Amino acid sequence: MSAPVLHVRGQVLVGPDEVADELWVVGGRVTFTRPTTPGTEVQTIEGYALPGLVDAHCHIGLGPLGEVSRDETEQQALADRDRGTLLVRDAGQPGDTRWIDDREDLPKIIRAGRHIARSRRYIRNYAHEVEEDELVKHVRLEAHVGDGWVKLVGDWIDRDVGDLAPSWSRQAVADAIAAAHEEGVRVTAHCFGEESLRDLAAAGIDCIEHATGLQEDSIDTFAAQGIAIVPTLVNIATFPALAEPAKAKFPDYHRHMLDLHERRFATVAAAHEAGVAIYVGTDAGGSLPHGLVAQEMAELVKAGMSRAEVLSAATWGAREWLGRPGIVEGADADLVVFGHDPRADIGVVADPSGVILRGRVVA
């Protein structure tokens, strides 16, 4: 069934410094030229229109115990979509969600394949758990499973150490990242602590998830090398609860996690001030519910980013970083519309008045 003709008018936020009064959606695609076919029925939508929001760290199809059913995966995708998230970078999960690509009513996904972790050093049933001599092989395999990304687990609690510790030697991650780049994909990594960030930066990684362990020297390195971060502050807020069960047996780990949590806003602020690229991601899936992009955006404002910067980190800037179009002539009409101006109040993002996906009003 063909998509209807839509007329979106009011304030169309084409880019951070570009605003149009209106656009049309014809055949599911954006055009700034009024359709001229006589008798065409047009549905008008008014408000403040943005490109569909981006969740750059999300796990559609993942639950606390690993892969979830197709029905639950669908509900996760719908929860994100109905809050305006129309593009997801799935930052690692064990299941096959390619069937979502055939559904015109579900968000678009950029996949990073399955996490690659050190044996017994990550959440059970989530990752390929391998030793260093198998790391490069699995990176090359996952490079052809995902959509231009590979996901490593850079650190986790080491029970022998009693604290967070890097999962891999510096040489191992250097070889792995070089292999990924040879395969033409980018690499990101889960990292909570300090040391793993330095090793991965030295190896030439492209992005870090969470990045709570950033310090002055590693922040400077990230800025100089153009390494992006996705802080997932709504997830970092759970650190005290995550660490509490380990308090008696692993007190160093417990203290470390509380410290990372306590300075989370200061860490993001320092990275932002230094010029590190920051994008919006929620870490939904696993233990967190879906549909949290507005909450994450509010957290980044608390961390010192301006409303305009946070909007870009969830729309224009994020789409450019991921190589996907925003509101441009001929692109799929993936839009989210608000009744009030999100540039004036970031809280507006929590309540979209309309969601348009592939040219159809879906929410």
Strands 29-31 and 18-26, bridge-based pairing: antiparallel
For residue 19, the model assigns a pLDDT of: 97
As a three-state string, the secondary structure of the chain is: CCCCEEEEEEEEEEECCEEEEEEEEECCEEECCCCCCCCCCEEEEEEEEEECEEEEEECCCEECCEECCHHHHHHHHHHHHHCCEEEEEECCCCCCCHHHHHCCCCCEEEECCCCEEECCCCCCCCCEEECHHHHHHHHHHHHCCCCCEEEEECEEEECCCCEEEECCCHHHHHHHHHHHHHCCCEEEEEECCCHHHHHHHHCCCCEEEECCCCCHHHHHHHHHHCCEEECCHHHHCCHHHHHHHHCCCCHHHHHHHHHHHHCHHHHHHHHHHHCCCECCCCCEECCECCCCHHHHHHHHHHCCCCHHHHHHHHCHHHHHHHCCCCCCCCCECCEEEECCCCCCCHHHHHCCCEEEECCEECC
pLDDT at 37: 77
Residuewise pLDDT in 10s, the chain (363 residues): 567 899 999 999 999 999 999 999 999 999 999 998 776 789 999 999 999 999 999 999 999 999 999 999 999 999 999 999 999 999 999 999 999 999 999 999 999 999 999 999 999 999 999 999 999 999 999 999 999 999 999 999 999 999 999 999 999 999 999 999 999 999 999 999 999 999 999 999 999 999 999 999 999 999 999 999 999 999 999 999 999 999 999 999 999 999 999 999 999 999 999 999 999 999 999 999 999 999 999 999 999 999 999 999 999 999 999 999 999 999 999 999 999 999 999 999 999 999 999 999 999
> For domain 53-322, which CATH number applies: 3.20.20.140, 3.40.50.20, 3.40.50.1700, 3.40.50.2300?
3.20.20.140
Query: In the CATH hierarchy, which top-level class contains the domain 5-50+326-361?
Result: mainly beta
Which pLDDT belongs to residue 36?
A: 84
Query: CA–CA separation, 328 vs 52, rounded Å?
Result: 12
Structure confidence at residue 269 (pLDDT): 98
pTM: 0.97
Which pLDDT does position 38 carry in this prediction?
A: 72
Give the model's pLDDT for residue 41.
86
Q: What are the sequence ranges of the domains in the chain? A: 5-50+326-361, 53-322
